Structure 1
Amino acid sequence: MTFRISLRLLTAALLLIGTFAGQLRAQTSLLQNAPARRVLSLNGSWNYIIDPYENGFYDYRREAFDQSKSGKGGYYDNQKPSNSQEPELIEYDFDKSATMQIPGDWNSQDPKLLYYEGTIWFKKSFTLKPAAGKRYFLYFGAINYESHIYLNGKKLGMHKGGFTPIQYDVTSQLSASGDNFVVVKADNTRRPEEVPTINTDWWNYGGITRDVFIAETPATFITDYKVQLARNDASQLAGYVQLGGDSKAGQTVTLTIGEAGLKQNVKTDADGRATFALPAKKLKLWSPQSPKLYAVSLSSGPDAVQDKIGFRTIQTKGQDILLNGKSIYMRGISMHDENPLIPGRARGEGDLRMLLTWAKELGCNYVRLAHYPHNETMLKLADEMGLLVWAEVPVYWTIAWENPATYQNAETQLSDLISMGKNRASIVVWSIGNETPLGAPRLKFMSSLAQKARSLDDTRLISAALELHRTPDNVIHVDDPLGEFLDLTSFNEYAGWYWGGKPSEITKYTFDIKYNKPVMISEFGGDALAGYHGDAETRWSEEYQEALYVNQLKMLSTIPGLRGMTPWILADFRATRRQHPVYQNGFNRKGLISSTGTKKKAFYVLQEYYRQMARKYDGK
């Protein structure tokens, strides 16, 4: 009996893992450059219902309505009273419920939801009459965190991950009359087995936080493509095109880069895939000094996709980082996907462009988009503005390293990030995590992610924020075994703030770095409340932060292989952990720019250092 029960439990667990892996990704492969399609925007006003007990999802026996035989009974039905003399008991009404602007988090739009973690239902009615010979894809830029999505009362699927796109082919689910409604159950509850885990250091914004639209394509369509230079070879353009839909085998695909006089026709194989390779000598290479983008056209039959793509190579050689074959110093800053001037997540191009403009003013040629995938628009702006990008997944602090479903979740988020960003010249580093503690299960988890990233994209560098330790002789040791699997030796260190004494004392530290690779300081810094002044030893003052930066730069400059940094952080950001009622008040104050847009004294210290590095490496 004991064996039979154990076997049954094991079988159930394996089925659960398989179901999770299937549900985590949306029904169809993500459309490459989906916003460039012909789209019907669903942004704007959505009705919402707060549901902390999940009454709209479970019955009183805690059984999911959408798993019942009828599939009925949940809020996703958007049920209305019938005209009968004895109408049904309905305890909700979307049309009479409050509204919220989408994209947008709920925390900043309703005061009672500031700290809310749980379920909220969203509903949007729209008109779309499907045309013959067309396909339609419902696309969400991001929903935090677990989402269940329904169209016209039918479930499309479930997705986990607060920062990666979600997509479903809804061609057959659209109403022939043109009257449609979509319902989303969004749940931002933190859980220890999720990615990120239960403990983070940023605000847990809930809701539909990025654009929502329906993209239209022909019956056979271009679903994916990669158009980039071959690995470490600026003379060769290489890549692939993937067709989806009804008749994808044996089709002609045309790649055109008119400005460069490049054109090639290729045929798809039985799986709808075609690869191409052609000389790229006429292409002007993309760089921060000259962020050249080309209009790239891909067409097949009735479908055509336009993109703006830059071309460059990135590699390491010993302790050098080579961009287009030339040594580069990466003058960077870390940032969150948040406009500090307006409560909540960044909502659109204006917010994102402001953040990158601040980075350019600081003297950056590089940004670390921490600690999760940022908006696709941010990546395109970085291409346009000439900023190199470190793109990251939220494998952050202490993950459930030995849980297979947790690993699958992390790998899926990494895969979707790479899918979304692989044609962006600005992205030069895929980061697989931040400050994860040493241990054998963690090493297996993280090294597997590094291997997965390389299998998906061998044209960029792989890194992570490694662990370090100090010894009584004031030596900082960087020998995290994960470093063996990475291209950069990147680590966070907070001398002068969390350890190491006063800012004036930190120059006593030296570094013992195991790996002969380029060194990237992925974080350092300290808090300062803008407008609070004292001397260089007055914690929380602008002067303390200024002195910390001065001495950090002295200390770090002794590292022979130092090839860049992304101090923490561009701007103050909201963080629930930061509770000091005078200096923090719900903000992490390590920003070089305050929550009102004021530049702190340390901003100018880093700006001057970057001017010196620009003169040394770029001749400016």
Structure 2
Amino acid sequence: MRTILPLNDQWFYRPEYVESEVNSGIDVNRYEPVLLPHTNVELPYNYFDDKAFQFISTYKRKLDIPADAKGKRLYVDFEGVMSYAQVYLNGVKAGEHKGGYTPFSIELTELAEYGGSNMLTVVADSTERDDIPPFGAVIDYLTYGGIYREVQLRVVESVHFGAVFVQTPEALAASKGVRVAVGLEGMDAKQDDLTVALRLLDGDSLKAETGPTAVTAGDMTLELKELNGIQLWELDDPKLYEAELTLLRNGEALDQLIVRFGFREAEFQPDGFYLNGRKIKLLGLNRHQSYPYIGYAMPKRAQRRDADVLKEELGLNMVRTSHYPQSRHFLDRCDEIGLLVFEEIPGWQHIGGEAWKEQAVKDVEDMIIRDRNHPSIVIWGVRINESQDDHDLYARTNELAHKLDPTRATGGVRYIAGSELLEDVYTMNDFVHDGGHMKYLAKEIRNYDTYDDTEGVDGETTGLRQPSFVTKLDHPVPYLVTEYNGHMYPTKRFDQEERVMEHALRHTRVQNASYADEGIAGAIGWCAFDYNTHADFGSGDKICYHGVMDMFRLPKFAANVYRSQKRVEQEIVMEPVTYWSRGERNIGGVVPLVVFTNCDEVEFIYGDERKGVYRPNQEKYPALPHPPVVIDELTGHWGMKWEDAVFIGYVEGQEVIRRRYSRNPVPTELRVTADDTLLEAGDWDVTRVVVDALDEYGNVLPFYADPVSVEVEGVGELIGPASLSLIGGRIAFWIRTQGEAGNIRVKVSALSRFNPQELSILVK
């Protein structure tokens, strides 16, 4: 049977490469101990040299291989090394890999010293090499460096399972089936004593099984038919099953592999997207997998939490993994919570030479083989994001994707109208909406024959272009918007009130346009989280402020556009877009006062005066499931007394939520909360801690910017600096474990305005 040994501890790191040290041991005076995942350099939050991580570094680890492993095959499996890795065992090169976003395995069988200690060395070249996608030109994101995902040692018999693909044909039939394509590695001429058995598991329950099937070749297919009582994988109830495969020789088990999957049917049609025969409008955002200070090098818990943020906090049903394959932990969580995924290959506009193109094709293969058992993934991105047409390249990537996975649609993200469609879905980055300054484009954007000159003045009718105008085809095709907004209106969480309101309204207008057009399967906004970028982009401080949340996963007002589309059974949402001050906006005042909500009505009270009860504005946003409430009746001259405000939300005539805003907010409470108070020992674990400066009504003070200091004691440590300034009244940081069990004590101290706050985290 296979043995899997995590290799995420006991590594030693040196931020440079010395060729002679490939053959040497570990000099503790020049190498520092590290745990994986690991970034090759910790970066500031902003304002740093974007070449700071672009260097070659060296990782070393002792590897004790037991004597009884001799006669078996040994592999070291890497989930991600940026961006070119050379692997050595005992000073001898075992293999290499190009590409920072796909996994790879290096065989150690012939080089290992069994029953003794071995030296594993990894040379990580994190420079932007022009033979590896996405490099070769400018890129609007950072790629960081190091061994930033997990590593394991895999010990298997000479014959063992390779790639496995679980398919569920006719998932909507009353009697269902499972088809499992099985690859076997290490086959030789005489294998007539080998069999493979398949069992379908529902938790601890056995649903069905096959008897042992004789192995006749390195590739085989097993099937289970006439399965009853099978539950579909749905967005609200994402049921998962397991296919357990066992390889036997003369009845004795040699290898076993368990693959998790779901029964579901996902189809893109010209009139929209269908999951299990039911039409669903796709509501999504793009995700970069980066974090402050340590870039990509976040472990399992943080990766999974991002999926929870997108689905549970923001209420999305889809995410695009811009612009590369992402952590398996993130995808696993998407499977578990019912978050649909558009996954794509690495790249950003640039197409390189022949070697570069070959690597892009290899990226398609590696991505699909790794991830095709995830029921959450419904479309493959097989084209370099926003690149020019390249018929030969994209014919190859599309054909390969269909060969490796005939069950899913393909797409190729473009920004060029009339671009050649080789894939199944026309996927388009549509940045046409500019907030209402588009009338001069209207005849191009809309169909000329149906264009009304009174439309388009405020931008609300031109949030997206019609698919037929973009595709230039004479027939409808499946169509999905994969980016909008973003660089059109970058917005910081602490920006002036009119700007954060307009930022939110732009997301509202585009989503309204998406819901209004049956020919658009949905729209995936740019983007979920702010992200570090190269000097060629962003706000000059190495940050693109394009997210509806900041880099710390703290929401901007635009996040509430998405939250408010939830059903009230999921969460009651009522978020006024206001800092509640008369002098924050140009000229003064707070109108129009926008409230993002899924309530039926919102009552507004100003001081002691009941101003009225307001309903969602369906006139301006008729297609959106939950339009915002817009209040524009608060009047009064500049010198009048400013009052408190109360907003009350009603559902079916009953009060369900109440928010109060102070006319005279004063710092009252420093709130410190951790996402998790229980972490795991072993491989390093992590949790986020959020610090909020609150007023007397529990609202964040939007312009509070005093510093806080963070002290950590026990079996944990702080990621990033120990002195932090609040940004817009809030800040967050991450606490990481050190592999040991025990307690972590966190103390956050501010200036004299607040008392110090402490919290405790248990590591088991």
TM-score (norm. length: structure 2)? 0.64
The amino acid of 2:550's aligned partner reads S
Q: Distance in 1 between matches of 2:257 and 2:72?
A: 15
Quickly say closer, same or farther: Cα 1:463–1:579, change in 2 above 3 A: closer
Measured after TM superposition, the shift of residue 330 of structure 1 is 1.8
Quickly say closer, same or farther: Cα 1:280–1:147, change in 2 above 3 A: farther
Contact 1:37 1:217 in 2 (8 A): yes
| Aligned mate of 1:101, from 29, 35, 44 | 35
The 3-state SS of whatever aligns with 1:595 is coil
Q: Distance in 2 between matches of 1:615 and 1:553?
A: 10
Given the alignment of the two structures, is residue 40 of structure 1 paired with residue 1 of structure 2, yes or no? no
The amino acid of 2:301's aligned partner reads G
Q: How does 1:456-605 map to 2 (within 5 A)?
A: 456-468=404-416, 478-481=417-420, 483=421, 485-496=422-433, 505-507=458-460, 509=462, 510-511=465-466, 512-514=469-471, 515=473, 516-526=476-486, 527-535=490-498, 541-577=499-535, 585-605=541-561
Relative contact order higher in (CA < 8 Å, ≥ 6 apart):
1
Measured after TM superposition, the shift of residue 499 of structure 1 is 11
| Aligned mate of 1:347, from 291, 294, 298 | 298
Measured after TM superposition, the shift of residue 508 of structure 1 is 5.5
Q: Distance in 2 between matches of 1:112 and 1:397?
A: 23
1:342-396 CA-to-partner distances (Å, cap 9, x unmatched) read 6321521211122111111211121111111111122211111111111110132
Measured after TM superposition, the shift of residue 224 of structure 1 is 2.2
The 3-state SS of whatever aligns with 2:396 is helix
The amino acid of 2:367's aligned partner reads L
| Aligned mate of 1:315, from 263, 267, 275 | 267
Measured after TM superposition, the shift of residue 133 of structure 1 is 4.4
Measured after TM superposition, the shift of residue 212 of structure 1 is 0.9
The amino acid of 1:144's aligned partner reads M
Q: How does 1:86-485 map to 2 (within 5 A)?
A: 93=27, 96-108=30-42, 115-131=52-68, 132-198=70-136, 199-230=138-169, 234=173, 235-245=176-186, 249-250=191-192, 251-258=194-201, 259=205, 261-265=207-211, 267-279=213-225, 281-282=227-228, 283-301=230-248, 302=253, 303-340=255-292, 343-360=294-311, 361-400=313-352, 403-439=353-389, 442-468=390-416, 478-481=417-420, 483=421, 485=422
The 3-state SS of whatever aligns with 1:230 is coil
The amino acid of 1:348's aligned partner reads P
Q: Distance in 1 between matches of 2:497 and 2:561?
A: 17
Q: Distance in 2 between matches of 1:178 and 1:556?
A: 62
Contact 1:578 1:588 in 2 (8 A): no
Measured after TM superposition, the shift of residue 559 of structure 1 is 3.2
Q: Give the corresponding residue for 2:667.
A: none
Q: Distance in 1 between matches of 2:537 and 2:243?
A: 49
1:457-490 CA-to-partner distances (Å, cap 9, x unmatched) read 100110021233xxxxxxxxx3211x2x222221
Contact 1:222 1:242 in 2 (8 A): yes
Bigger mean CA offset, 306-315 vs 375-384: 306-315
Contact 1:285 1:311 in 2 (8 A): yes
Q: Distance in 1 between matches of 2:212 and 2:272?
A: 38
Q: Distance in 2 between matches of 1:257 and 1:312?
A: 16
Bigger mean CA offset, 525-534 vs 151-160: 525-534
The 3-state SS of whatever aligns with 1:465 is coil
Measured after TM superposition, the shift of residue 608 of structure 1 is 2.7
Contact 2:528 2:549 in 1 (8 A): yes
Contact 2:268 2:521 in 1 (8 A): no
The amino acid of 2:563's aligned partner reads Q
Bigger mean CA offset, 312-321 vs 504-513: 504-513
1:424-479 CA-to-partner distances (Å, cap 9, x unmatched) read 1111111013443434xx222122211111111100110021233xxxxxxxxx32
Q: Distance in 2 between matches of 1:237 and 1:78?
A: 51
The 3-state SS of whatever aligns with 1:75 is helix
The 3-state SS of whatever aligns with 1:304 is strand
Measured after TM superposition, the shift of residue 500 of structure 1 is 5.8
Measured after TM superposition, the shift of residue 233 of structure 1 is 6.7
Q: Distance in 1 between matches of 2:437 and 2:2?
A: 53
Q: Distance in 1 between matches of 2:128 and 2:461?
A: 40
Higher strand share: 2
The amino acid of 2:409's aligned partner reads L
Q: Distance in 2 between matches of 1:524 and 1:459?
A: 28
The amino acid of 2:155's aligned partner reads E
Measured after TM superposition, the shift of residue 601 of structure 1 is 0.9
Q: Distance in 2 between matches of 1:467 and 1:203?
A: 21
Q: Give the corresponding residue for 2:668.
A: none
Given the alignment of the two structures, is residue 76 of structure 1 paired with residue 26 of structure 2, yes or no? no
1:248-280 CA-to-partner distances (Å, cap 9, x unmatched) read 833210110144622113535443322122325
Quickly say closer, same or farther: Cα 1:603–1:309, change in 2 above 3 A: same
Contact 1:41 1:212 in 2 (8 A): yes
The 3-state SS of whatever aligns with 2:525 is coil
**Pairwise CA RMSD:** 2.9
The 3-state SS of whatever aligns with 1:136 is strand
Quickly say closer, same or farther: Cα 1:329–1:210, change in 2 above 3 A: same
Larger radius of gyration: 2
Quickly say closer, same or farther: Cα 1:280–1:207, change in 2 above 3 A: farther
Q: Distance in 1 between matches of 2:345 and 2:170?
A: 23
Q: Give the corresponding residue for 1:15.
A: none
Quickly say closer, same or farther: Cα 1:595–1:436, change in 2 above 3 A: closer
1:476-516 CA-to-partner distances (Å, cap 9, x unmatched) read xx3211x2x22222111223469966997434544314352
Bigger mean CA offset, 591-600 vs 379-388: 591-600
Quickly say closer, same or farther: Cα 1:112–1:435, change in 2 above 3 A: closer
The 3-state SS of whatever aligns with 1:416 is helix
Q: Distance in 1 between matches of 2:526 and 2:168?
A: 32
Measured after TM superposition, the shift of residue 218 of structure 1 is 2.6
The amino acid of 2:7's aligned partner reads L
Bigger mean CA offset, 201-210 vs 322-331: 322-331
Contact 2:427 2:481 in 1 (8 A): yes
Q: Distance in 2 between matches of 1:290 and 1:260?
A: 20
The 3-state SS of whatever aligns with 2:459 is helix
Higher helix share: 1
Contact 1:149 1:184 in 2 (8 A): yes
Quickly say closer, same or farther: Cα 1:500–1:239, change in 2 above 3 A: farther
The 3-state SS of whatever aligns with 2:211 is strand
Measured after TM superposition, the shift of residue 578 of structure 1 is 6.5
**Consecutive unaligned residues in structure 1, runs of 5 or more:** 1-35, 57-73, 81-92, 469-477, 536-540
Contact 1:393 1:414 in 2 (8 A): yes
Quickly say closer, same or farther: Cα 1:557–1:79, change in 2 above 3 A: closer
The 3-state SS of whatever aligns with 1:102 is coil
Quickly say closer, same or farther: Cα 1:327–1:149, change in 2 above 3 A: same
Q: Distance in 1 between matches of 2:225 and 2:259?
A: 20
Measured after TM superposition, the shift of residue 547 of structure 1 is 2.5
The amino acid of 1:352's aligned partner reads Q
